[in-house]
Chains A and B, each alone.
Chain A
Amino acid sequence: MVDAATLRPDLAVIARQVPSGVRVLDVGCGDGALMAALQQSRNVDARGIEIDPELVERCVARGLSVVQGDADRDLAFYPDGAFDIAILSQTLQTAARPDRMLAELLRVGRRAFVSFPNFAYWRMRWALMRRGRMPVTRHLPVTWYETQNIHHVTVKDFEELTAQLGIAIESRWFFTADREVAARGANWRAEYALFEVRRR
């Protein structure tokens, strides 16, 4: 079974931040690693949404409550405030409308953790500047024409969007090469970012 120590760094941070006994919705939960860790170590009531049927099957086979569905469409079916915490890890950039997805997250959850690859990371800028082509990296590994990441976003973009939507940023964490890095210059230096947000 997965424990927090083996989770991807952003998920490990989330796992540490989630208090015990709360209700959590993991949107785009993948194979359920975070949900399993939360349920096991924190007695959390975790539910998931995942679009890939094979990943859903793995979640169900490990005893997790995961619904196969498209977060763009299916979040609407969850009642207001059904969860204490909503989680959107590395999925925002795949949303049809990331602004609406954020609003929906904070409708069904009182607070949310959102992580995404930072398109302003210096290696991205360098690749784009030097080669003039859409970068293909470890965190955005698929070419432009077949990627699910249809809305690339930067740390600055995200902060501006939250301000526009009236969403408060409670905390932020930045990572490069699976290590946490300082917030200073994060828009350049962070490969990906994690925000904890709340309705204002």
Chain B
Amino acid sequence: MTAADPSQSYTLPDPLPLDGGQVLAGATIAYQTYGELAADKGNAILVCHALTGDQYLASAHPVTGKPGWWERMVGPGKPIDTDRYHVICANVIGSCMGSTGPASTAPDGKPWGMRFPVITVRDMVRGLVALLDGLGIARLHAVVGGSMGGMQALSLAANFPERAARVLAIATTARHSAQNIAFHEVGRQAIMADPNWRDGNYYAHGSAPDAGLAVARMAAHITYLSEAGLTEKFGRRLQDRSAKSFGFDADFQVESYLRYQGSGFTRRFDANSYLYITRAMDYLDIAEEHGGKLADAFAGHAMGKGARFCLVSFDTDWLYPTAESRHVVHALNAAGAPVSFVELSSPFGHDSFLLDVPALDRVVKGFLDG
């Protein structure tokens, strides 16, 4: 967990109304842009990040030094071509890479902690739309996102139908299932069970609930992969040893890998942000927001008005399986919106959208350029 780096940021001029009934005044949104904005501002693409993502889409992460999370997709000549498009990626409200979240300072000069209002995906999208207003971008060429980013893309389409000409939602859902919520609850309980969590008031202390956050990340990470992928990568191979230790060290490679993922995560992410963002995802039910019928949520896109949609799922994604994408596609069909959908084959599970899947590159490029 570190302070924001000197990247681009925008402080919203107006208080942000939240689904929970509160308002967030003076919220800041940190963002990065890539490629030139056209004179008519018609070439902007908003890319929405996933749960633990951030605005460092196609540039080095200031904390980890690693490449941006979608460098393989975004850049000059790449499927989301920055020679052609002005690409914007913003850190969502509630997160911890420069946008206002529980680690930020509240009006009383102390960190928000658990006093930060509970937010929803739609609240994140309200923040993103306020940023677009600030940037003077009335209508995006496209809004694009995978996983939680796809939820934001769908939420933007449902709530601000005039703001994007294309909506590309990958490996995502329009509602969090009981299983999705269950996995998130495991992560939250791991954080809150860590004695260093201190009801969320750990910022003034020297220690954060890193052990709990690492466990949360480990549990979540398993849901991002596929059984076949894990077996292929690790099998039952042992880590740095030739025999089992008959103890609780990381005997197996897969254990060592998860521990590494967990500890790496605590260096760049705030535990309270993890609580708030997973909660936001759990509350997601776009149909419920629109009277219970998902097709009604997309009524603003009927027949030639509104946006063109493209949904992509992966056959090994068991976190947001193909059926969830189909559910959205059927609702869009019922609403009369132009929609494409394809289930791509990939061994990598939910994480496929971040990894080397050439078919995804072709679909993304074809949809955005077409």
Which residues of A line the B interface, CB within 8 A? 23, 45, 47, 53, 56-57, 59-69, 74, 77-79, 82
Complex CA distance for A56 and B366, rounded to whole angstroms: 12
Q: A63 near B369 (CB under 8 angstroms)?
A: yes
Of B58-66, B138-146, B157-165, B329-337, which binds chain A? B329-337
15 inter-chain pairs at a CB distance below 8 angstroms, sorted by A residue, are A45-B304, A53-B345, A56-B340, A60-B310, A60-B370, A61-B363, A62-B366, A63-B369, A64-B370, A65-B338, A67-B329, A68-B341, A69-B329, A74-B330, A82-B336
Binary per-residue interface labels of chain B (355-370) against chain A in the complex, 1 for a CB within 8 Å, 0 otherwise: 0000100110111011
Q: B344 near A57 (CB under 8 angstroms)?
A: yes
Q: A61 near B329 (CB under 8 angstroms)?
A: no
| B326 interfacial contact with A, CB 8 Å | yes
With A53-B345, A78-B333 already in contact, the answer to whether A67 and B339 are too (CB < 8 A) is: yes
Binary per-residue interface labels of chain B (273-311) against chain A in the complex, 1 for a CB within 8 Å, 0 otherwise: 000000000000000000000000000000110001010
Query: What's the nearest-Cβ distance from chain A to residue B340, in Å?
Result: 5
**Cβ–Cβ < 8 Å partners of B365 in chain A:** 61
Query: What's the nearest-Cβ distance from chain B to residue A78, in Å?
Result: 5
Interface centre among A47, A57, A64, A78 (most CB of B within 10 A): A57
| B342 interfacial contact with A, CB 8 Å | yes
Complex CA distance for A64 and B341, rounded to whole angstroms: 10
**Cβ–Cβ < 8 Å partners of B341 in chain A:** 56, 66-69
Q: A79 near B310 (CB under 8 angstroms)?
A: no
**Cβ–Cβ < 8 Å partners of A74 in chain B:** 330
| B255 interfacial contact with A, CB 8 Å | no
Q: A53 near B336 (CB under 8 angstroms)?
A: no
Q: B333 near A60 (CB under 8 angstroms)?
A: no
Complex CA distance for A101 and B341, rounded to whole angstroms: 21
Of A47, A62, A68, the contact of B343 (CB 8 Å cutoff): A68
With A45-B304, A69-B326, A77-B334 already in contact, the answer to whether A63 and B343 are too (CB < 8 A) is: no
With A53-B345, A69-B326 already in contact, the answer to whether A64 and B340 are too (CB < 8 A) is: yes
**B: contact size bracket:** 20 to 34
**Cβ–Cβ < 8 Å partners of B362 in chain A:** 57, 61
Of B326, B339, B344, B345, the contact of A65 (CB 8 Å cutoff): B339
**Least CB separation from A25: chain B residue:** B333
Interface centre among B342, B365, B369 (most CB of A within 10 A): B342
Complex CA distance for A79 and B293, rounded to whole angstroms: 14
**Cβ–Cβ < 8 Å partners of A62 in chain B:** 366, 370
**Cβ–Cβ < 8 Å partners of B326 in chain A:** 69
**Cβ–Cβ < 8 Å partners of B366 in chain A:** 60-63
With A53-B345, A78-B333 already in contact, the answer to whether A60 and B338 are too (CB < 8 A) is: no
**Cβ–Cβ < 8 Å partners of B367 in chain A:** 60-61, 63
- Interchain residue pairs A-B with the least CB separation, the first 9: A63-B370, A61-B366, A77-B330, A65-B338, A67-B341, A56-B342, A60-B340, A61-B362, A68-B342
Complex CA distance for A53 and B363, rounded to whole angstroms: 11
Complex CA distance for A63 and B369, rounded to whole angstroms: 7
Complex CA distance for A69 and B326, rounded to whole angstroms: 9
Query: What's the nearest-Cβ distance from chain A to residue B141, in Å?
Result: 14
**Cβ–Cβ < 8 Å partners of B329 in chain A:** 67, 69, 77
With A53-B345, A57-B363, A63-B369 already in contact, the answer to whether A45 and B338 are too (CB < 8 A) is: yes
Complex CA distance for A78 and B344, rounded to whole angstroms: 23
**Cβ–Cβ < 8 Å partners of B339 in chain A:** 47, 65, 67
**Least CB separation from B345: chain A residue:** A53
Complex CA distance for A59 and B310, rounded to whole angstroms: 12
User: Which B residues from 100 to 130 make CB contacts under 8 A with A?
Assistant: none
Of B334, B340, B359, the contact of A78 (CB 8 Å cutoff): B334
With A63-B366, A77-B333, A78-B333 already in contact, the answer to whether A53 and B304 are too (CB < 8 A) is: no
Q: A60 near B342 (CB under 8 angstroms)?
A: yes
Q: A66 near B340 (CB under 8 angstroms)?
A: yes
Complex CA distance for A23 and B341, rounded to whole angstroms: 19
Complex CA distance for A62 and B90, rounded to whole angstroms: 29
Query: What's the nearest-Cβ distance from chain B to residue A146, in Å?
Result: 21
With A61-B365, A61-B366 already in contact, the answer to whether A79 and B345 are too (CB < 8 A) is: no
Query: What's the nearest-Cβ distance from chain B to residue A175, in Å?
Result: 31
Q: A67 near B340 (CB under 8 angstroms)?
A: yes
Q: B340 near A65 (CB under 8 angstroms)?
A: yes
Query: What's the nearest-Cβ distance from chain B to residue A36, in Å?
Result: 10
Complex CA distance for A19 and B327, rounded to whole angstroms: 32
**Least CB separation from A61: chain B residue:** B366
Query: What's the nearest-Cβ distance from chain B to residue A6, in Å?
Result: 20
Query: What's the nearest-Cβ distance from chain A to residue B326, in Å?
Result: 7
Query: What's the nearest-Cβ distance from chain A to residue B42, in Å?
Result: 17
Q: A57 near B370 (CB under 8 angstroms)?
A: no
Q: A53 near B344 (CB under 8 angstroms)?
A: yes
Complex CA distance for A61 and B341, rounded to whole angstroms: 11
Query: What's the nearest-Cβ distance from chain A to residue B84, in Å?
Result: 15
**Least CB separation from B370: chain A residue:** A63
Complex CA distance for A59 and B333, rounded to whole angstroms: 17
**Cβ–Cβ < 8 Å partners of A82 in chain B:** 333, 336
